[in-house]
Each structure stands twice: as structure tokens, then as C-alpha cells.
Amino acid sequence: MTPHPHDQREASGITPDIAWTTPPVGGTDLGRIAAAWLMLVVGLTLAGAAVVAWWESSRFGVADADVNRWFERRRTETWTSVAEFASAFSDTRTVVVVGVVTLPLFLWLLRRWNDYAFVFGGLVLEVTSFVVVSMLVGRARPPVEQLDGAPTNSFPSGHIAASVVLYSGLMLVVYAQTRRRGPRVAATVIGVGVPAAVIASRLYLGMHYPTDAIAGVALGVVVLVVMWHVVLIGDVDDDVPDDNVTPQLADVAR
Amino acid sequence: MTSSPVPTVRPSTDDRWWVRTWPLGRDEIVSLTIKLALVIAVGIVVGTLLTEWSVFGGVREFDRRTAEAFVDARTSTWDEFAHWGAFLSSTPVKIVLTAIVVVLLIRRFRSWYDAVLIGLPLVFEATAYLVTSIVVGRPRPDVPRLEDSPVDTTFPSGHVAAATVYVAFAVVVFRHTDRIAARVAAVVATVSVPLIVGLARVYQGMHYVSDVVAGVVLGAVSLAIAVRALRRPSVDEASECTPDPTQPELVGAGTTASERER
């Protein structure tokens, strides 16, 4: 594998203060992303078609819907507002606004495209493949009352896929840039906790079967794996040696 | 302060940045709590007078008429714009944006100062808003509303107050760059957000105009109090905001050359 342009400039001693003019991906990378997109769409569409054709009418399919009914029986006003709140962290609007607003901030503060491209490029890959698969598979929503509106179909869950790419992706950015325990723990709480909350909320709201949720997680994870290999987000400078003291709350709070 | 022979505060020369740069000591927290109580008290008095007192009947009449005028002017296109506009200040967006910005700032500058400058006014504003709106309990405009809200009270507008606090982003940009383009962009972006959000919330029938004005005032006051309360990085506190030395310096970033030499 040829060194990434970003590495080449580091190696050649060019100061990285113009690193943001270096695009995070080159021509071959775009080809790999396109190949990944195609494989994602074909793979998920086949899986979705199999679910609609064989799974839904089987007793597994009944169990699938039973999970939604279980949630429906437990609906209360409070839990509904909690679920709507959790689900909103992965709404298209939220993701779009966060993506647009943080672009200049990522460029200014990290002085390169890579971290932004990793997360938000991943979201573009996710949303484009999701829309096509959802349309091709055309799975109907679960047989319970839907508490949220959506223009797409049930398989896979776009909310869940987006939450994995965005929040677990940001977690990976933190992991790639520091070995310090405090930031890593905080990142893990968010990177695992938010997608988990989104999964629970989408099932509760009757928007998705558990199989849609699994497909959504799979889509998100595959996108992150692809982006991880295409866009380098490794440590620009790992300032903290392994033996460094982890910041303790007592120190910080004084 | 007491002249205790043993310093109760860690010396600012501590080489661990997360100790050295923490800008909130006990004094600051006490002072902030008192100011929070004052802001809430003023908010409750103003809100109650505005809602109940006959002298402000004219304001209430103006509020009612503008709310109805906006309802008459509704179109489906503007409904969509208003939805997006109000969305800029919705809670999930606010939380995610602030979290990302705070982490990026800490990473770049190895300092708590900017992160706290962004986070503290938001916490201050949210607390003051919550208490004030519950106590005042002004009912939302009596017009068809375009959004659901779990909160039934309208004074002040929490959306607008939070949107005003986004101006903290501009304060941070000003601290770190002299570039005119960056400064103008930061001011235009952060000042237009509360205007857009305020207009959208009135259009949607979620708030009266006076709630929006009160929201702007609450946000601005919270920001001003937070900026003043934080221990400013000074020459004595060895170059608190020097960017990460392994990363290149921005033009005019935050500290002067003499500070950096320390």
C-alpha cells in the first residue's frame, strides 16, 4: 500500500500547517469507497429480500414482531417522550446541522480533513446506500402503531446506522488520537450508549423490527470499517506517553 | 481573601495542563451561584409582572396581535423554513454541537478555558430558564402551534436563550484569531442564529415576541456573566492557551510571542 499523502508530507518535513489543503482521500480511495458502496447495497438488498421473502412468514418473523408488540404494551407518555428525545439524536436534520456546523470547526481546530471526512464522509456513504436498499427491499413497518413519521421503509434502520457511524465514529476518532483513559472512557460511553439508546427508541416507537436494527448496526459497522481503511485518522501527535498519569477528577475539580 | 500561609490553590505553574488551566475555583463557583439566583429572581419578577400586571397590558396586546399576524401569514414553505430554523436550537443539536466543539477545543489548545467558556453559559442559561419558566408559568400563545413541546410555559424562550449562547463560539474565535474573515463569519453566524430561531418560534406560535426578547436577554446575560467569572488566562498563568506545540500556530492565535516563551 502506498503511503497516504498525509504521511508523505509528514515524512518530507513539510509542516502540516497546510494539511487542510490536502484532501483526505485520493482517486483510488474514491474507487474503493464506490466498490464498498456497491457491495453494501447488493449485500443488504439480498439480505433484506431474504428477510421479506422467507423470514417474515416463519415463526422467527412472528418473534420479530413480538418484540415490537412487547414495547407497544409498555408505552407510557413519559417513555414516549424519552424515546422521541433519544431518536432525535440520529434524525437526519440533527446529523445535517451538526455536519455543516462542525466542518469549519474541525478544519480550524484539527487543521486537516481526515477526522471530519472519516465521520461525515462515512455518513454520506451510509445514507446513500441506506436509501437505495430501503427502496429496493421495501419492507413494511412493524404491525404496531408508528409514533414517528418516516418517508422510507423498514429495512434497514437508517437512524440506527447513522447513530453508529456518527457516535461510534467520533469514539474511534478519540481512540485514534489519544491513549489517555479519561477521554477514551467518555468516548466509549457516548459511542456505545447513544447508538444503544437509538436502537431501543426505534423499537419502542414501532419504527423498526429487531432485524432492521441488526441490519442498521451492520451497515454502520461496515461503513466505519471501510472508512477506517480509507481515511487515516491516526494520532497526529500522541502527546501522552503510556506511563502518563490519567487525569483524576480530584485534580481537575481542585 | 484570607491570608492563609499555605496556598489553598494549586500553583498555576503545575505542568499538567488539565490542572493548571481549570478556570473555576471555589470563589468563582460561589459568585456564579449568587448571580444565578439573582438572574432567576429578576426573571421571575419581570415575567410575573409581564403576565399579570395591568400596566403591561399593552405589551400583552402587542404579543397577541403579532402571534395572530404570524398565523395569518403561514405558508407551507415558511412552515418548513421555520421548522429548520427552530431546529438549530433544539436540545439534541445543542448537546451534540457543544460536545464536539468542547472536545476539539480542549484537544487543540490543551486548555479548559475555551471549553468552559462554551459550556458554562449554556449550563447557567438552562438552569435559569428552567426555574424561571416553571415559576412564571405563562401559557403559550393561544394559536395553532406547529411544534409539540413537553414544556407548557412560554416565558422566557429557552430555544432563543440557548441560541444566543452560541455567541460564545464567536468569543472563542476572537480570542484565537485576528483574521477579519474568520471574525466576521463567526459574528454573522452566531448573531443570526438567535434571530432565526426567535423568528421561527414566534412564527410557529410557540412563543410571544416578549418571550423571545427575554430569551435574548437571558442568553446574553448568561454569556456575559460566564465570561467575566472565568479566571482569564493571564501573563502570570504561564501561557494558558498556547496551542499544542506540535501543531502549527494560527495567525495571531491567542497568546503573544512573549507569553509563549515562558
Phi then psi for residue B254, to 5 deg, are: 65, -60
**Which of B16, B92, B104 has its CB closest to that of A109?**
B104
Minimal CA separation from A58 to chain B, in Å: 39
Residues with Cβ within 8 Å of B78's Cβ and at least 6 positions away in sequence, in order, are B203
The beta-carbon neighbor of B105 closest among A104, A109, A183 is A109
Torsion, Cα A237 A238 A244 A248, to 10 degrees, reads: 90
Which residues of chain B lie closer than 8 angstroms to A93, CB-CB? 84, 87
How crowded is residue A83: how many other Cβ atoms within 10 Å of its Cβ?
24
**pLDDT tens digits for A165-174?**
999 999 999 9
Residues of B in contact with A108 (CB under 8 A): 182, 250
Task: State the Cα–Cα distance between residues B158 and A171, nearest whole angstrom.
Answer: 30
Residues of A with CB under 8 A from a CB of B: 15-17, 81, 85, 88-89, 91, 93-94, 97-98, 101-102, 104-106, 108-111, 170, 174, 177, 183, 190, 236-237, 239, 245, 247, 251-254
* Angstroms from B193 CA to nearest CA on chain A: 12
3-class SS string, A86-141:
HHHCCCHHHHHHHHHHHHHHHHHHHCCCHHHHHHHHHHHHHHHHHHHHHHHHCCCC
The Cα A86–Cα A89 span in angstroms is 6
pLDDT in tens, A149-192: 888 899 999 999 999 999 999 999 999 888 888 889 999 999 99
Whether residue B248 and residue A17 make contact (CB cut-off 8 A), yes or no, is yes
How many other C-beta atoms lie within 10 A of the C-beta of residue A103?
13
Cell readout for B119 is: 459550556
Compute the radius of gyration of chain B from its Cα atoms. 21
Residue B115 Cα distances to B19, B119, B178, angstroms: 14, 6, 20
Based on the number of CB atoms within 10 Å of its own CB, is A79 exposed (0-12), middle (13-18) or buried (19 or more)? Answer: middle
Segment B102-120, tens digit of pLDDT: 999 988 888 888 999 999 9
**Chain B CA closest to residue A109:** B108
Q: Which of A97, A100, A109 to mutate to test the interface with B (most CBs of B within 10 A)?
A: A109
Classify burial at A253, counting beta carbons within 10 Å of its beta carbon; exposed 0-12, middle 13-18, buried 19 or more. Answer: exposed
User: Would you call the peptide bond into B156 cis, given omega within 30 degrees of 0 as the criterion?
Assistant: yes
DSSP A165: I
Reading the block at residue B57, the C-alpha cell is: 397590558
| pLDDT classification of A246: cutoffs 50, 70, 90 | very low
pTM, two decimal places: 0.81
> What is the nearest CA distance from A145 to chain B, expressed in angstroms?
19
Identify the pLDDT of residue B232: 66
What are the cell numbers at A60? 422467527
Helix (H, G, I), strand (E, B) or coil at A151: coil
Q: Which residues pair with B139 in a beta bridge?
A: B153
Residue that wins the pLDDT comparison between B230 and A6: B230
- What confidence score (pLDDT) does residue B239 get? 43
Contact A103, A116 (CB under 8 A): yes
Q: What is the pLDDT of residue A59?
A: 84
Who among B97, B99, B248 is closest to A111 (CB)? B248
Give the ranges where B53-179 is alpha helix by DSSP (H).
57-72, 76-87, 91-109, 113-136, 158-165, 167-176
pLDDT of residue A10: 45
Helices (H), chain A: 5-11, 27-50, 59-73, 77-88, 92-110, 114-116, 122-137, 158-163, 169-177, 181-204, 210-230, 249-253
Nearest by CB to B93, from A16, A94, A108: name it: A94
Give the Cα separation of A22 and B206 in Å (integer): 46
Q: Mean pLDDT over residues A189-217, rounded?
A: 96
Q: How far apart are CA B18 and CA B113, in angstroms?
A: 10
Hey, are the CB atoms on A247 and B22 less than 8 Å from each other?
A: no
Q: Which of B92, B104, B246 sits opposite A89 (nearest CB)?
A: B92
Hey, are the CB atoms on B93 and A177 less than 8 Å from each other?
A: no
**Phi–psi pair at A173, nearest 5 degrees:** -60, -45
The overall average pLDDT reported for chain A is: 84
Nearest to A237 among B18, B182, B244 (CB): B244
Chain B residue numbers with beta carbons less than 8 Å from the beta carbon of A183 are: 103
Residue bearing cell 418484540 = A67
Q: Which residues of B touch A174 (CB under 8 A)?
A: 103
What would the pLDDT profile of B144-192 be if each residue is shown by its tens digit? 888 877 778 888 999 999 999 999 999 999 988 888 999 999 999 999 9
Counting as low any pLDDT under 50, the low residues of chain B are 1-4, 6-11, 234-262
pLDDT tens figures, A49-82:
999 988 888 888 888 899 999 999 999 999 999 9
Interface A:B, Cβ pairs < 8 A: 80
CA B79 vs CA A103, B83, B200: distances in Å? 27, 6, 9
